[in-house]
Structure 1
Amino acid sequence: MNLYTERHGLRKPIARTSKISKEVYTLLLNICQKYYKNLTHIFKLQKHSSFVGQDYIEFNSSQFENRMAIKIPNIFRDEYGHLAAPKDNDEYDQYSLIDLIEYVAENIKDISEGWNNDRYKNYWYIHCLDTTSAFDDYRNEINEIFQESGLLFTLTHGKLIERIVENTPLSPAIETQVQQIAEYGTRELMKDAIALYKTPNPAAHQYSVEKIWDALERLKTYYTNLDKRDSATKVVNDMSNGKDDFIAIFDAEFRALTNLGNSFRIRHHETNKIDITDNRHYDYFFNRCLSLIALAIQYLK
Structure 2
Amino acid sequence: MSDVYFGEREFGLKPRTKNEIDANVWSGLVALIDDLIDKDYFAQAFPQRCPDFSNSIEKIYETNQLRMTSAILGSFPTLKFPLDVLDKPVTSTILEFIEFCHEHMGKPVKFDYHAYYTHNDLSFDKQKGQREFRSLVNRLFQRNGIIFELQENGQVTRLAPPIVSDILNNAIFQTNDKELDSLLETARVKYLNPNLKIRLESLEKLWDAWERIKTLDYPSDKKKSIEMRLDQASSDIEMRKVIDDDGKKLTEIGNKFMIRHTEVKTIPITSSAYVDYLFHRMFAIIYLLLGNQIGKKLDSTVKEKIREVKPAEEMPF
**1:56 maps to amino acid:** K
Aligned residue number for residue 44 of structure 1 = 47
**1:152 paired to 2:125:** no
Contact 1:177 1:297 in 2 (8 A): no
C-alpha spacing 1:173/1:277, structure 2 compared with 1 (3 Å): closer
1:161: which partner in 2?
156
Higher mean C-alpha displacement, 283-292 vs 271-280:
271-280
**Deviation string for 1:119-162 (max 9, x for gaps)?**
66632322134x51222221121122112223222223343222
Who is 1:85 aligned against? 84
Aligned equivalents of 2:276, 2:17: Cα separation in 1: 16
Q: Which residue of 2 aligns with 1:172?
A: 166
Give me the identity figure in percent: 22
Cα distance between partner residues in 2 of 1:182 and 1:106: 38
SS in 1 for 2:59: strand
Q: CA deviation at 1:8?
A: 6.8
* Count of matched residue pairs: 286
- The answer for the alignment partner of 1:27 in structure 2 is 28
* Residue matched to 1:128: 124
C-alpha spacing 1:226/1:113, structure 2 compared with 1 (3 Å): farther
Distance 1:39 1:187, change over 3 A: farther
The counterpart of 2:258, out of the listed 258, 265, 269, is 265
Whole-angstrom distance in 2 between the partners of 1:128 and 1:109 = 6
**d(CA) in 1 for partners of 2:104, 2:216:** 40
TM-score by structure 1 length?
0.78
What CA RMSD, in Å, does the superposition of the two structures yield over aligned residues? 3.5
Q: CA deviation at 1:246?
A: 4.3
TM-score normalized by structure 2? 0.74
Residue of structure 1 equivalent to 2:68: 64
Letter in 2 for 1:122: T
Partner amino acid, structure 2, of 1:155: L
* Alpha-carbon offset, residue 293 of structure 1: 1.1
Closer, same or farther in 2 for the Cα pair 1:243/1:92, shift >3 Å?
A: same
Gaps of 5+ in 2: 295-317
1:191-210 alignment to 2 at 5 Å? 191-210=185-204
Judged with a 3 Å threshold, the aligned counterparts in structure 2 of structure 1 residues 184 and 47 are, in CA distance, closer, same or farther, namely farther
CA deviation after TM superposition for structure 1 residue 197, in Å: 2.4
Contact 1:169–1:291 (CA under 8 A) maintained in structure 2: no
Cα drift, residue 291 of structure 1? 0.6
Q: Give 1:105's aligned residue.
A: 102
Instruction: Find the counterpart in structure 2 of residue 190 from structure 1.
Output: 184
Report the Cα distance in structure 1 between the residues aligned to 2:106 and 2:180, rounded to whole angstroms.
37
| 1:297 aligned onto 2:300 | no
The alpha carbon displacement at 1:41 in A equals 3.5
Q: Distance in 1 between matches of 2:9 and 2:237?
A: 53
**CA, structure 1 residues 171+226, in 2 after alignment: closer, same or farther (shift >3 Å)?**
farther
Question: Against the structure 1 CA distance between its residues 219 and 34, is the aligned structure 2 distance closer, same or farther, given a 3 Å change threshold?
Answer: farther
Contact 2:26 2:88 (C-alpha < 8 Å) held by counterparts: no
SS at match of 1:116: strand
Distance of aligned partners of 1:226 and 1:108 in 2 relative to their CA distance in 1, 3 Å threshold: farther
Are the counterparts in 2 of residues 16 and 150 from structure 1 also a CA contact under 8 Å? Answer: yes
| Unaligned residue ranges in structure 1 (runs of 5+) | none
- Corresponding position of 1:276: 269
